[in-house]
Amino acid sequence: MMARKFGWLTIVALMALALTAGMAAAQTTLNGAGATFPYPVYAQWAAAYAKQTGVKLNYQAIGSGGGIAQIKAKTVDFGASDAPLTKKELDEIGLIQWPMIMGGVVPVLNVPGMAPGQIKLTPSLLADMFLGKVTKWNDPQVAKANPGVRLPNLAITIVHRSDGSGTTWIFTNYLDKVSPAWHAKVGTDKAVAWPAGVGGKGNQGVAAYVQRIKGSLGYVEYAYCLQNKMTFAKLQNSAGNFVDPTSETFQAAAANADWKNAPGFYLVLTDQPGAKSWPITGASFILFYKDQANMAKAKAVLSFWAWCYAHGQKMAEDLDYVPMPQAVVDLVEASWSSQLHAGGQAVWK
């Protein structure tokens, strides 16, 4: 009796499943995969867009490296990466890329008694701490950058990402630019051979470790710093000013970026000029094939991103991201018109 009941249940469940699958197939679904850092805002945009147009986005936040691998394997309509590909890499695969959204990476610390922004760090000091050269919070170099602050005799424990990550790419790219020693010893990548410290999985893992370990210093995406109410450090930018991480300073860094003269939109927003610029700012990119097989699908994907550029700014700002300036959006849409084709015809006019 029991078995028969279950048999019927199974059949009904299967039929329901088949029905919903059929219905889903009737709608347009855009498939993408990649970076985890922009995932919250992409999800928000997709939900709003689906409500208006019925077009759904299926975005798998599997990481930037995964996004690149999936678009190479052509299992998705578009890929997403926090680390831009160089013009040469793009041409080899036949891709174009464009910046979709920007955000900041923030050094966070756990030193008892310190308020957010109370500790100031110079670029070389930050690099030396992550290199394991400066090992105490009351090191003379830290004291020199922080006159009047009572620094404890506490060991610095570095917390970094244990998983490969676009956030790490942006952060190490910055250290690579500002510290010759970092450049010689470590370099830039989504995962590196860290000279010191412990690794937490994901932004959340780093945040948890930093909150756990007294004397720790780590780096997270700005949104995680805000959500977890973490103690961040002020950073000295290339103009010599100590700045707080805020939407305003991220925007300042973005405003000074020269997208026009960046072939294939290969531009890293770390260490940008400008009196107010936050030095560790980064953009997240979309990867798309130049030569599209299906005109309708290609148009649907571009329409979605164009809608996000036009209507998604408020949503992005609410989630502490920085939307792309209009001038950059115009450049991106011009590149769609000139470079994307399907069956010999331009996709975007």
- SS3 per-residue string spanning 238-258: CCCCEECCCHHHHHHHHHCCC
Least CB distance from residue 275 to another protein, whole Å?
A: 33
CB of 55 or CB of 198, closer to another protein: 198
Least CB distance from residue 136 to another protein, whole Å?
A: 11
Least CB distance from residue 208 to another protein, whole Å?
A: 6
As a whole number of angstroms, the distance between CA 119 and CA 140 comes to 14
As a whole number of angstroms, the distance between CA 244 and CA 116 comes to 9
Least CB distance from residue 309 to another protein, whole Å?
A: 27
Least CB distance from residue 167 to another protein, whole Å?
A: 11
* C-alpha torsion angle, residues 200, 108, 40, 69 (rounded to 10): -50
Please say whether the beta carbons of 37 and 221 come within 8 A.
yes
**Which among 103, 63, 315 is positioned nearest to 223, based on CA atoms?**
103
Residue 43, classed as helix, strand or coil, is helix
In Å, the largest CA–CA distance within the chain is 81
CB of 167 or CB of 238, closer to another protein: 167
CB of 69 or CB of 315, closer to another protein: 69
Least CB distance from residue 102 to another protein, whole Å?
A: 21
CB of 200 or CB of 312, closer to another protein: 200
As a whole number of angstroms, the distance between CA 37 and CA 224 comes to 10
As a whole number of angstroms, the distance between CA 275 and CA 278 comes to 9
CB of 38 or CB of 63, closer to another protein: 63
CB of 214 or CB of 311, closer to another protein: 214
Please say whether the beta carbons of 313 and 323 come within 8 A.
yes
- Give the footprint of another protein on this chain (CB under 8 A): 62-66, 68-69, 155, 157, 162-165, 186-194, 197-201, 205, 208-209, 212-213, 215
**Buried b vs exposed e over 169-178: b needs ≥16 C-beta within 10 Å?**
bbbbbbbbbb
- Which single residue is written with the structure tokens 């502490």? 320
Taking the alpha carbons of 225, 227, 230, 234 in that order, is the dihedral positive or negative? Answer: positive
Least CB distance from residue 93 to another protein, whole Å?
A: 12
CB of 192 or CB of 316, closer to another protein: 192
Displacement of CA 126 from its chain's centroid (Å):
21
CB of 152 or CB of 325, closer to another protein: 152
As a whole number of angstroms, the distance between CA 82 and CA 37 comes to 8
CB of 213 or CB of 302, closer to another protein: 213
From the CB of residue 227, how many other CB atoms can be counted at a distance below 10 Å?
14
As a whole number of angstroms, the distance between CA 117 and CA 251 comes to 19
Least CB distance from residue 189 to another protein, whole Å?
A: 5
Least CB distance from residue 161 to another protein, whole Å?
A: 9
